[in-house]
Structure 1
Amino acid sequence: MAAKTGLAKYVIVLTTVTAAIMELLDTTIVNVALNQMAGSLGATIEDIAWVITSYAIANVIIIPMTGFLGEYFGRKTYYLTSMVIFGVASYFCGASHGLWELVFWRFIQGIGGGALLSTSQSILFDAFEPKDRGIASGLFGMGIVLGPTLGPVLGGYILDKYDWSQIFYVNIPICLLATLLTVLFIERKEGEGERKDEIKIDYLGIGLLTVGIGSLQFVLEKGESEDWFESRMIVTISLMAIVGLVGFVWRELTTDHPAVNLGVFKYRIFAISTMFTLVAGLGLFTSSFVYPVLVQRVNGFTPYEAGASLIAPTLAAVFLFPIIGKRMSSGAPPLPYMFAGICVFIFFGFYSGTATPDMGRWDFFPMQICRTIGISLLQLPLINQAVAGLKPKEYPAGIALSNMIRQLGGAFGIALANNFATNRAAQHRSDLMANMSPDNPLFTERVTGMANNMIAKTGDIFNATSMAYKQLDLAVSRQAYYLAYLDTFRLIGIFFICILPFLYFLRTPKKSAEEAAEMAKATAESH
């Protein structure tokens, strides 16, 4: 497929980046709507979490198979079909009247959305000349960051103005426009979809992947709410994950026609890069998850205020990614950017750990701009570095696996953050309660003062003391969670500290501008 020029090029950029943003945005947009969904559908908060879990499970199952499915059906056909599935499922999600009906359609939506990420990336690369494909990487990386971050913003706005169903309906006009633009402007590659008779479907490998990855994602998403391995269900599904993943690896490494080419892990650079991709996904998704929870639970932000406070710092990515992409196209080595990105993210983790409960929207701006800069410096060079040692024909498998690992990193990070914050909140509450003793004159003075305030406001002398104790208990819980979320930000920083020394093993010979362009050309041709 020849590189595009003029209007066609920019239409393809708009179509593919929007599709990638839409897919990733739907991983986080429902987070702020769970309470409203639960009330509308008559479900508990624990059960409504399946709306998130089902989408994530479908995503991680389908993403590593996108290379195979695109080759089997033809890339354009597969892309169009996935977009239609995503749009149709979005309609039925919004029209659902019961919890499990909504969960089912969210799973179907995840199946359609999983293809939009890797396939959008390959189509976007094809639209650029070799010397400009670093810019294409920059534009795609921008979508990776904007999607999860803008989810809570859009979700909060929709909830303030409309019903929760509009969160899903908003996808429909975007899907219709993207489908039309795909039909008109994205061309089929020569021979695309014409090798069906030559391609054997690895049904066993696909089945083992579905069981293994699906079970692993389930454990990560539901483990905390089910008390982890104290639950027989979690133990059983964990065993299914182990059997499925071990069987999948064995099958894909021994069959002549694997659904997912795991042979790319034999390359040192790719194998080590996946560790950085995992932690980068953890940092991106976990920070997007913890921050809105912190400012709503402790600082009193509304869902929309929490999301809106992310808009200004996130826009920095709009400018940074194309600049870094252009530098990559010029042959700039990725490791200095990765080193800088990791260091900035470490600083973000510990800087965010100094937040206070009385901070307003703009007080968080310096912290969030650090997050955006860190992710911008890390993501794009990591995308390029991950495929640097692969052969051109292995790029689709490498890109799909990298995208899957990023999603798993996010799922692992959110599960870890939930569990870690809950445990740390209990510990902080215990520590704070140790000072709440009648023998402590400061505590007694505080209770007396609060009781007197209650009497002055309500005139209720008999219940003033008990109301003071309840108010103090709420303040202790709020402070405990506040300290726990700050600990979680520091934990994110610690993860990045742990991977920093492994940059040494990612060293590759410096490429000239011509060599970088040739690698980008081979990348695009492999798609």
Structure 2
Amino acid sequence: MAITDDSSSRSKQATGSKNSKGSAYNSAGYVQGPLKWAIALTASLGAILEVIDTSIVNVALTDIQATLGATVSEVGWVVSGYAIANVILIPLSAWLGDVFGKKNYFVFSMIGFTFASVVCGLSPNLPILIIARIVQGLFGGGLLAKAQAILFETFPPAEQGVAQSVFGVGVISGPAIGPTLGGFLTDNLGWEWIFFINLPIGLVAVAMSIFFLRPDPPKSQQTQQPVDWWGIGLLAIAVGSLQTVLEEGERDDWFESSFITTLAITGVVGLALFIWRELTIKAPAVQLRVLRHRSLAAGSVYSGILGMGLYGALFAVPLFTQSVLGFSATQTGWLLAPGALASAIVMVLLGKISGKVDARLLIGIGAVGSALVMFNLSKITPQTGTDDLFWPLIWRGAVTVLMFLPLSLATLGPLPKKDVSAGSGFYNLTRQLGGSIGIAILTTMLEQRQAFHSAVLLAKLTPYDLETQQRLNALTGVFQSRGSDATTAQQQAFASLKQLVSTQAAILSYADIFHFVGIVFLCSLVLLMFLGKGGAGAKAPMGH
């Protein structure tokens, strides 16, 4: 008992948690005063950098391909390599924080991320760029989950709504900010600057992390456990293989490819062995037992669905505007920017009331609202323009927040304080994987539905269809008036009609996937019965 009391005393002394006047920490170990907001800004800045870099590269791939002489499939690994490394590290972030110290690990991740960003911008060829992106993804995986865990350990339950809203502004608006910023930098300064921009921001974040984050306890108080190398290896194999399947499957025609089939089998077997390993050893690298908390299990599933809707919709809209409407990357970015601003505004407002309202009610309103927005977007036509997309995208940005912030509170708020770090890792992992799964599903659906609609529409292009004949005659007349002879004009008319059919098939396909995402949001309402009340009814986290 004497040893425990002495240890507790040293811990309080190290963290400054005594109730002395002017202390930065209260008796429960939470930060008080201006310092807690400095910590919130520091943690959020790291998370924002990581999230933006998941999407900022997408609009620059064409320029990178041209500069480095790469094929489309090769340059795709600039995105895939980052995503794969990211999801491997996220579930390990809690263990790494315990081993090296939460502050040390966050600062190290921030330094590594910033350094890797510079290497990306200086890359003379594609292999070095891909390797640098993988390294960047590994360090970035430690920023996202750890940032959210830091906030839960810094703020008392009553203030979690406001704290998580600060964090959520970057996470939820990042996927929209990325293409906007990436398009501007690529068009005006060159693709290298989408990486160089991280240097000044990263250096500021590193300095803030060193200065503001809570000091790690003395090394003697950190439990020394053997490293679970088998668990880490199985996790890398399982999650890496499955994420590669999601990233590359559509490009390789899914299970028609022996490469994708082998990876899928490897991923499933590796996942089964990983789960068995982590549940049967005393000191696992990933604490799967934390899923015994019902709020975390249900919230992580819901987080995956939110990831599908959040990233899936933001994947489909830029594709539609650029491939069908002919928008540039910068134009598409500016179209998405107001929605990101709406997310930030609603996030701040919601942070002030989320602790007083049942989280399940807010999540339900957000899910229904998101579904209605998707159904509205499914009404797109060949005449759809910026004005038709502006308000739906504004509303999408606003109502998605009603799911994101309350879900974080309902999922992680009820957890004991000692389980928050591991729980945050699972929660953020499922959102990232949900986004990858959503994009993989929507990409495949888009291709299949476009082939279906093309076949249906082309079947009507026969010499016996009156409407087709009238359209062909009208087009033939147009081309003849421009100087083409009768035979050439007829060929041009038929080619033009086929192009119109192709465009119409694409529009119908995008309408189908918007409708599908809306249905997914409505189906997610079933999971509400498994969630806690969040800020309105969650118990305060217990323990340290």
Q: TM-score, normalised by structure 2?
A: 0.90
Identity in percent:
36
CA contact under 8 A between 2:454 and 2:502: conserved in structure 1? yes
Residue of 527, 533, 536 corresponding to 1:502: 527
* Partner residue, 1:365: 390
* Partner residue, 2:424: 399
Mark the CA change 1:446 to 1:430 in structure 2 (over 3 Å): closer, same or farther: same
* Partner residue, 2:259: 233
Structure 1: which 5+ runs fail to align?
none
Deviation, structure 1 residue 469: 2.2
**1:79 and 2:110 are equivalent in the alignment:** no
Cα distance in 2 between the residues matched to 1:263 and 1:110? 26
- 1:227-264 alpha-carbon deviations (Å, 9 max, x no partner): 11111111111111011100100000001001111012
CA contact under 8 A between 1:72 and 1:195: conserved in structure 2? no
Mark the CA change 1:457 to 1:158 in structure 2 (over 3 Å): closer, same or farther: farther
Q: Secondary structure at the match of 2:379?
A: coil
Alignment of 1:33-48 (within 5 A): 33-48=60-75
* Partner residue, 2:301: 275
CA contact under 8 A between 1:20 and 1:147: conserved in structure 2? no
Cα distance in 2 between the residues matched to 1:416 and 1:194? 49
- 1:305-362 alpha-carbon deviations (Å, 9 max, x no partner): 11111111221222222332222334x3211111111111111221110122323323
The residue type equivalent to 1:399 in the other structure is: S
* Partner residue, 2:517: 492
Q: Secondary structure at the match of 2:482?
A: helix
* Partner residue, 1:69: 96
Mark the CA change 1:458 to 1:171 in structure 2 (over 3 Å): closer, same or farther: farther
Alignment of 1:290-369 (within 5 A): 290-330=316-356, 332-369=357-394
* Partner residue, 2:458: 433
Alignment of 1:376-455 (within 5 A): 376-455=401-480
CA contact under 8 A between 1:344 and 1:373: conserved in structure 2? no
- 1:1-41 alpha-carbon deviations (Å, 9 max, x no partner): 53556654443333222221110111111111122222222
**Number of paired residues?**
517
* Partner residue, 2:85: 58
Q: Secondary structure at the match of 1:463?
A: helix
- 1:112-164 alpha-carbon deviations (Å, 9 max, x no partner): 11111112223334554543222101111222211111111111111221211
Cα distance in 2 between the residues matched to 1:227 and 1:445? 39
**1:12 and 2:39 are equivalent in the alignment:** yes
Q: Secondary structure at the match of 2:274?
A: helix
Greater shift, 214-223 or 465-474, is seen at 465-474
Deviation, structure 1 residue 484: 0.6
Mark the CA change 1:410 to 1:129 in structure 2 (over 3 Å): closer, same or farther: same
Mark the CA change 1:195 to 1:68 in structure 2 (over 3 Å): closer, same or farther: farther
Residue of 462, 478, 491 corresponding to 1:466: 491
**1:99 and 2:126 are equivalent in the alignment:** yes
* Partner residue, 1:134: 161
Cα distance in 2 between the residues matched to 1:506 and 1:20? 25
Cα distance in 1 between the residues matched to 2:485 and 2:222? 80
Residue of 177, 180, 185 corresponding to 2:212: 185
The residue type equivalent to 2:151 in the other structure is: L
CA contact under 8 A between 2:228 and 2:285: conserved in structure 1? yes
* Partner residue, 1:287: 313
Q: Secondary structure at the match of 1:131?
A: helix
Cα distance in 1 between the residues matched to 2:223 and 2:520? 47
**1:213 and 2:223 are equivalent in the alignment:** no
- 1:418-475 alpha-carbon deviations (Å, 9 max, x no partner): 1000000000101110111111132122222223222333545553222222222222
- 1:473-523 alpha-carbon deviations (Å, 9 max, x no partner): 2222111111111111111111122221232233559956xx65x33xx4x
The residue type equivalent to 2:63 in the other structure is: Q
Structure 2: which 5+ runs fail to align?
1-14, 16-24
- 1:65-108 alpha-carbon deviations (Å, 9 max, x no partner): 10110111111111111111111111111122222221111100
Cα distance in 2 between the residues matched to 1:354 and 1:92? 44
CA contact under 8 A between 1:297 and 1:478: conserved in structure 2? no
- 1:270-305 alpha-carbon deviations (Å, 9 max, x no partner): 222222111001111101110010111112221111
CA contact under 8 A between 1:299 and 1:358: conserved in structure 2? no
CA contact under 8 A between 2:413 and 2:534: conserved in structure 1? no
Cα distance in 2 between the residues matched to 1:427 and 1:484? 9
The residue type equivalent to 1:50 in the other structure is: W
Cα distance in 1 between the residues matched to 2:33 and 2:531? 37
Measured on the aligned residues, the alpha-carbon RMSD in Å equals: 2.0
Residue of 140, 147, 154 corresponding to 1:113: 140
Mark the CA change 1:81 to 1:505 in structure 2 (over 3 Å): closer, same or farther: closer
Cα distance in 1 between the residues matched to 2:183 and 2:533? 44
